[in-house]
Amino acid sequence: MNGAFKITLAAGLLAGLSGCGNDADGGGPLGALAETAGQVVAEQRGAGADQPAAPARTPEQAAAEALRVNPGPLIMAGFESLGRNQVMAMTGQNGAMRTYMTPSEEALILRGGMLVGTRGLGNDLSVAEPQTEALIRAGGSGSGTRVMRYYSGDGLERPLSFDCTVGPGPNPGVVVENCEGHGISFQNSYMPQGGQIAVSRQWIGPALGYVTIQTLRP
């Protein structure tokens, strides 16, 4: 568990900076997470009128329990605009693309830790196409275009193109990506390790804002 707590601390540092499959039968990684959630609800319902409800679990406690019950790849996602942290289990993989999902079927799609899509959150990111990805993974500096495609009300994809620059952040090991376009500016922060992105704070879009992503188990 030491590694998970180190990652949690690293994500806290970042937060302070200015085709895949699914599991529909209730088993597998989602079943394990749903069982854990059910146990928490049962504990709270089981508390009598004379007994206070069990205190809410911290993100560290939720991560520890998820690692205990689920042997597969896991991430912790902190949705800043929604005000919640969520353990997500890998439910599908297509090449380098992995889908991580909650029991309620909210999903993040990652490529080596780079956010490339969301599902089930509303105002979803259909796909991200960052030309800056190689620079970020290498910890380099430079510029490139980032295209973010969003689902619109008519079911079509609407692309937004941003001009981005990449360079070292204010803390050792942190790479920042500053992007501007369409009257919007945002900053993504990454901690690349061996070409993978273990911890990051990435912008989903105008409606959903930022998500902090921590690798609990690769």
Please return the burial class of 102, using the count of CB atoms within 10 Å of its CB with bins 0-12, 13-18 and 19+. buried
Is 76 in contact with 214 (CB distance < 8 Å)?
Answer: yes
Q: Rg (Cα) of the chain, in Å, rounded?
A: 18
Print the SS3 string covering 140-189: CCEEEEEEEEEECCCCCEEEEEEEEEEEECCCCCCEEEEEEECCEEEEEE
Instruction: Give tens-digit pLDDT for 143-178.
Output: 999 999 998 878 789 999 999 999 999 999 999 999
**Mean pLDDT across 8-16:** 50
Instruction: Give tens-digit pLDDT for 24-75.
Output: 344 445 444 444 333 333 333 344 445 565 566 787 787 888 788 778 999 9
Instruction: Give the torsion sign (CA, 78, 84, 90, 92).
Output: negative
Taken in order of first residue, the domains within the chain and their CATH numbers are 59-217 (2.40.360.10)
- The secondary structure element, H or E, covering residue 38 is helix 28-46
Q: Look at strands 142-151 and 125-130 and give their pairing.
A: antiparallel
Is 40 in contact with 53 (CB distance < 8 Å)?
Answer: no
Whole-model pTM: value is 0.77
DSSP letter assigned to residue 51:
S
